[in-house]
Amino acid sequence: MEKIKVGIAGYGTIGQRLADGVALQKDMELVGVADLVPTLAVRALAEKGMPYRLFLGDGADKEAFQRLGISVSGSFEEMIQASDIILDASPAGIGIKNKNLYEKNGVKAIFQGGEKNSVADVFFHGYANYEKGVGMDYLKLTSCNTTGLIRAVDCLDRAYGINKTAITIIRRVADPGDYHRGLTNALQIDKAPSHQALDLMTIMPHIQATGILVHTPVTHGHIISVIVSGKQKITKEMALKSFRLHPRIRVVSIAEGFLGNASLFKYARDLGNPRGDMYEIALWEDSIVESGDDIMFAIHIPQESVTIPETIDGIRASCRMQITSKEGTEKTNEYLHINHEQQA
């Protein structure tokens, strides 16, 4: 079977990780990555020996790359023409402009969560609505918080059925290395309901969802408190059984030393994961509480890497590599080595 050729627009926080993720897929070929300026990420790519080919978007200062000795393989449009599908990881609002080039060249594309839903045919999640993306030309991923939230809610919904959910998101204010949000010593609350709750209902319209979001002056990960109302009473033991069977949910506990977001980031580095990334969301066993007929739990969202598996699921769906969620997600998990074993 001929490999699917994948190009990546934007080599920033997400683009770097998408490139690494696609490069691990044995049934895909990474054509290259495209960017406009020699950012630190691009300079690091060059210093590592240019493992991925670099293409330049319109308006890029070619001389700036030449002065740094960074080799360039061609234009953004040339990368598009050599690809079957583009993963657009450009800044929010740029993807919709890039779509004109994708349509002109007859190439499929997957957009990240920052773009408006109207940019795509399907608002996509690898577990919750994979089949809706099969064969579609343009998909849009959910945001990092929504991606992880849906994993957990969909997990329980498939096992027991869910009527509604209410969430509180403790949101990191910026990615590591970002300075544009300033230096703060404050929390900021958004107007309810949060977009993550609304997005969940778009993907899973049979569930009522609402939520509150609080911005916090930290960088390594979000924490979401989730309350779920099942079609039947879900006990802690029932929830744990399902969570432990989900390959993209890592069940952890405070007793083990996972005290919060920093513990998980350090653990990922100790595992030797590149950049301290973790594809799985973490779910605290200690946080699972039964409240009447409802159940409550807390999850950690590694915002820089959590959407990578679902994006690769999107390639599989859009290009009809696998036509069911089970087949597609299992193949993605296999190549990304998401195979940690958990005691039931």
Q: Name the residue among 300, 207, 318 with its Cα closest to residue 253.
A: 300
CATH number at residue 331: 3.40.50.720
Strand ordering across the sheet containing 122-124: 74-75, 54-56, 28-35, 4-9, 85-88, 108-111, 138-141, 122-124
Q: What is the pTM of this model?
A: 0.94
Give the pairing of strands 4-9 and 28-35.
Answer: parallel
Say if 62 falls within a structural domain. Answer: yes
Average pLDDT, the chain: 94
Residues 244 and 107 in one domain: no
Say if 176 falls within a structural domain. Answer: yes
Say if 343 falls within a structural domain. Answer: no
What pLDDT, in 10s, does the model give residues 71-96? 999 999 999 999 999 999 999 889 99
What pLDDT, in 10s, does the model give residues 319-329? 999 999 999 99
Give the pairing of strands 162-172 and 222-230.
Answer: antiparallel
Q: Which residues belong to the active site?
A: 144
Write out the residue range of the structural domain in which residue 182 sits. 144-301
What is the per-residue pLDDT for 344? Answer: 47
Which of these ranges, 99-103, 122-126, 154-158, 220-224, has the smallest mean pLDDT?
220-224
- Residues found in the chain: 344
What pLDDT, in 10s, does the model give residues 174-187? 777 666 667 677 88
Write the CB contacts of 100 (distance below 8 Å, at least 6 apart in sequence).
none
With H, G, I as helix, E, B as strand and everything else as coil, classify residue 307. Answer: coil
Residues 173 and 266 in one domain: yes
Residues 171 and 259 in one domain: yes
> Counting runs of H as helices and runs of E as strands, what totals does the chain give?
11, 16
Pick 15 or 180 by higher pLDDT: 15
Are the beta carbons of 200 and 149 closer than 8 angstroms? yes
Q: What is the total count of domains within the chain?
A: 2
pLDDT, average across residues 39-51: 96
Say if 291 falls within a structural domain. Answer: yes
Burial of 303 (0-12, 13-18, 19+ CB in 10 A): buried
Buried b (16+ CB within 10 A) or exposed e, 13-24: bbbbbbbbbbee
pLDDT, average across residues 130-152: 97
Is 70 exceeded by the pLDDT of residue 332?
A: yes
H/E stretch holding 243 reads: helix 236-245
Respond yes or no on whether the N-terminal peptide bond of residue 193 is cis (omega within 30° of 0). yes
Residues 32 and 178 in one domain: no
Residues 250 and 268 in one domain: yes
